[in-house]
Amino acid sequence: MKAMVLERPKSPLVLKDVPIPEPGPGEILLEVLVCGICRTDLHVVDGELPNPKPNLIPGHEVIGIVRKRGPGATKFSIGERVGVPWLGKTCGQCKFCSSGRENLCDQPEFTGYTRDGGYAEWIKADERFCFPIPSLYTDEEAAPLLCAGLIGFRSYKHAEKSDRIGFYGFGAAAHILIQIANYQKKAIYAFSKPGDIESQNFSLSLGAVWSGDSTTLPPVPLDVAIIFAPVGSLVPQALRAIEKGGTVVCAGIYMSDIPSFPYKILWEERKIVSVANLSRKDGEEFFKIASQLKIQTQVQTFPLSEANNALQRLREGKVQGALALIPNSMQCNSN
């Protein structure tokens, strides 16, 4: 099969012919229809996340069709459309797994990082960690739900009881979550890089009540600020934007160093938390909402062989909405 392979971190992916994987016990083999591109893929390719699997195939927003089931795999039927997310497997036994916090498992496996992902024509996955995809989404529309949507949703859960929410960085995750926020009648304040008028207009077009530069303060204090951009200097800026008792949520897997800041902007029970990975419960809750509310995702697609170009666009921040790869461009043409 054709796959884009990371031979060495900090080098471009290489298009290669590799064997189609064989599903083991409890695993399914999927023909990949679409694989979304997430910022985390960039952190893996650029060597900012340690110890990826050797000769890794990246990609953890995978939409595929079940073509084969390994021994004992019964959750999905042949021909069913399934999504493979970032959390690929957990041990099921550590203190985190046994206390409802499998996102923090001591021995986790991550799709497109420590297991092969979806920048390929085929992928095998542990069926227990896959989700059925609601029929109201096309393959392209569904791809960004798998991580931008799902892990974004885990961050957004910190804002469940809040009315005024700030989003720092308005990319794939924010463009999905703002629609859930609108549905729940919450006000979104969207911050972007100074001068990034395109992102500011994009957020307003999706219903943000205010948008502006990340260096400015919102017109009213916020209850929660969620930082999607991997930029540590946003943490003190977001602390200044929240009300007492408020929370700053760091949503990414990677962030540059946070500069020191005066204690008084943390005082009065403001909190800084990070969000790691996802649990299957997050997925169930998220897809329940996503099947009641049709989330409009804006997805720009590329053929598999163009993965390096697509990643470069993301690296340069030249993206409104989300990006995805289509392994079989014949399908791309027929859609």
**C-beta of residue 82 within 8 angstroms of C-beta of residue 39:** no
d(CA 55, CA 284): 32
Segment interacting with Zn ion, rule: CB under 5 A, options 31-39, 211-219, 257-265, 298-306: 31-39
Q: Give how far Cα 181 sits from Cα of 85, 151, 184, 331, Å.
A: 23, 15, 5, 34
Least spacing, CB of residue 330 vs Zn ion, in Å: 27
Least spacing, CB of residue 52 vs Zn ion, in Å: 14
Please report whether residue 111 would count as binding Zn ion according to CB under 5 A: no
Least spacing, CB of residue 151 vs Zn ion, in Å: 6
d(CA 36, CA 162): 30
**C-beta of residue 45 within 8 angstroms of C-beta of residue 6:** yes
Instruction: Return the axis-axis angle of helices 197-205 and 172-183, rounded to nearest 10°.
Output: 30
Q: Which residue, 241 or 310, has its beta carbon nearer to Zn ion?
A: 310
d(CA 58, CA 12): 12
Segment interacting with Zn ion, rule: CB under 5 A, options 34-42, 155-163, 288-296, 316-324: 34-42
State the SS3 of 29-47: EEEEEEEEECHHHHHHHCC
Q: What is the DSSP string of 126-141?
A: EGGG-EEPPTTS-HHH
**C-beta of residue 207 within 8 angstroms of C-beta of residue 178:** yes
Least spacing, CB of residue 223 vs Zn ion, in Å: 26
Question: From the list 1, 20, 65, 94, which residue makes contact with Zn ion (rule: CB under 5 A)?
Answer: 94
Please report whether residue 91 would count as binding Zn ion according to CB under 5 A: yes
Question: From the list 32, 38, 82, 120, which residue makes contact with Zn ion (rule: CB under 5 A)?
Answer: 38
Q: Which residue, 168 or 189, has its beta carbon nearer to Zn ion?
A: 168
Least spacing, CB of residue 69 vs Zn ion, in Å: 25
Least spacing, CB of residue 188 vs Zn ion, in Å: 21
Least spacing, CB of residue 103 vs Zn ion, in Å: 10
∠ CA 323-122-176 to the nearest 5 degrees?
25
Segment interacting with Zn ion, rule: CB under 5 A, options 94-102, 120-128, 188-196, 267-275: 94-102
Please write down the long-range contacts of 87-93, taking CB distance under 8 Å and 24 or more positions apart: 87/111, 87/129, 87/277, 87/278, 87/279, 87/280, 88/60, 88/114, 88/115, 88/125, 88/126, 88/129, 89/115, 89/126, 89/129, 90/129
Least spacing, CB of residue 97 vs Zn ion, in Å: 3
What is the pairing mode between strands 2-5 and 299-303? unpaired
Please report whether residue 105 would count as binding Zn ion according to CB under 5 A: yes
Segment interacting with Zn ion, rule: CB under 5 A, options 70-78, 95-103, 184-192, 312-320: 95-103
Q: Which residue, 90 or 247, has its beta carbon nearer to Zn ion?
A: 90
**C-beta of residue 55 within 8 angstroms of C-beta of residue 5:** yes
Q: Give how far Cα 300 sits from Cα of 144, 238, 324, Å.
A: 11, 30, 6
- 118-177 residues near Zn ion, rule: CB under 5 A: 147
Please report whether residue 104 would count as binding Zn ion according to CB under 5 A: no
Q: Please tell me the count of residues contacting Zn ion according to CB under 5 A.
A: 8
Least spacing, CB of residue 228 vs Zn ion, in Å: 11
Please report whether residue 258 would count as binding Zn ion according to CB under 5 A: no
Segment interacting with Zn ion, rule: CB under 5 A, options 102-110, 167-175, 257-265, 287-295: 102-110
Q: Using CB under 5 A, list all residues that contact Zn ion.
A: 38, 40, 90-91, 94, 97, 105, 147
